[in-house]
Amino acid sequence: MSKYKIACLPGDGIGNDVMDAAMIILEALNLDAEYINGDIGWEFWKQEGNPLPDRTIELLKNTDCCLFGAITSKPKEEALKELNPSLQDKGFTYYSPIVRLRQTLKLHTNMRPCKAYPGNPLNHRDDIDLVIFRENTEGLYVGIEFHPIPNGIKDALTVHPKMKAFMDTDLNDMALSCRIFTRGACQSILRAAFEYARKFKKPSVTVVEKPNVIRETSGLMIREGREMAKKYPEIELWETNVDAMCMWLLKNPQNYSVLVSSNMFGDIISDLSAQLVGGLGFASSANIGDEYALFEPTHGSAPKYAGQYKVNPTAMLLSVKLMLDYLGENELASKLENSIASVIKEGKVKTYDLGGNNTSLEIAEEIAKKIR
């Protein structure tokens, strides 16, 4: 029996391409694991009305962790048009399967390393090495939305004086998304950021929010951040507004080490930071809960490149590295990262985004040679 059972969810488009690259690496590492493929993505939405079938949830419950590729997501109206005609007008609503996975499995912590590897011609600077901790289950991503707004919801909102400005607006002409923070979730993501900073001797943790405008939700995160910082006296607490953070990340990203934020703001600054170190082709992530974890590149499914093995697989391979760390296979994780860094530095084998013409699988094979 294998030491680990790992769920593999390739998903849509290039998710399959980069998953194939990941398998080359895992074979080279000789990880003692059984890999179990699962169903997720656009095709299952179109044919079953569910992009995350219940059988996949059950599969995940019987594995140690999950390696995920990419999915296609489209707006509500477009999704309905592509649904199997036999399922239309039966109340099916498309909902992001990755968001559902995070919430169903309580994967509260999203960790996004953004590290510049020497030799990457796309680096904004070569001395960037920061990690973003993003709260993964609350905020604007909770999915509590209304359009049109029901009478009862509008009536309930009248307790707030600023709702008066909207009292004469037709219910069909308003949409509402709820941004919900809980104290426990704020504390959890802040604790994860500070613990990481302590473990890896990082000098600061920067809380990124917007409390001067979004006073109650961002305010809760900031207040809890100040309380949490008292338990980590050796680590500086910095606070900044999300708009200013975008500017500072472009101007002097080398000054930052650990950033922590809520779901939407964390999503935004993660992508900005990824671009500083080469773009989404280098952007790995870990979704971690108390009992389970899922690892994924943060790029989309890029349907036009599906099956061409053209895209840069590094984000997926760095996600494998994060998975190995999670499993406690730290030696293998270091071997993989060092091999990736070596191939990038040599610059002989590279995909189109780096000015080369090698395939995703050729990149993986070159890294595998370094590992062996």
Which of 265, 188, 181 lies closest to 220 in space, CA to CA? Answer: 181
- Does residue 196 surpass a pLDDT of 90? yes
Is the CATH number 3.40.718.10 carried by domain 1-109+290-372? Answer: yes
Within the chain, residue ranges assigned H as helices are 14-29, 42-48, 54-61, 76-82, 97-104, 151-157, 183-199, 217-229, 242-251, 263-276, 314-326, 330-346, 360-371
Report the mean per-residue pLDDT for the chain.
97
- Token couple for 77: 């109206």
Nearest by Cα to 111 from 179, 20, 196, 32:
196
Give one DSSP letter per residue of 240-268, joined into a string.
EEHHHHHHHHHH-GGG-SEEEE-HHHHHH
Prediction pTM value: 0.94
Q: Tokens 């990262």 identify what position?
A: 337
Q: Quick one: pLDDT at residue 280? A: 94
Please give the full DSSP string across 98-167, using - where no structure is assigned. Answer: HHHHHHHTT--EEEEEEEPPTT-TTBS-S--EEEEEEE-SSBGGG--EESSPPHHHHHHHTTSGGGGGGT
Distance CA 321, CA 310 (A): 21
Q: Please say if the pLDDT value at position 76 is more than 90.
A: no
Q: Which two tokens stand for residue 346?
A: 């040599």
In the chain, domain spans: 1-109+290-372, 124-143+178-276, 145-174
* φ, ψ (nearest 5 deg) of residue 158: -65, -10
| Residues 337, 341, 347, 353, CA torsion sign | positive
* Nearest of 265, 163, 252, 162 to residue 222 by alpha carbon: 265
pLDDT category of residue 246 using cuts at 50, 70 and 90: very high
Question: Does residue 148 have a cis bond before it (omega within 30 degrees)?
Answer: yes
Backbone angle region of 169, left / alpha / beta, with phi > 0 → left and psi within -120 to 50 → alpha: beta
Q: Are 37 and 10 in contact (CB under 8 A)?
A: yes
Q: Which fold has domain 124-143+178-276?
A: Rossmann fold (3.40.50)
> Same CATH topology for 1-109+290-372 and 124-143+178-276?
no
Give 75's pLDDT tier (boundaries 50, 70, 90).
Answer: confident
User: Would you place residue 89 in the very low, low, confident or very high pLDDT band (cuts 50, 70, 90)?
Assistant: confident
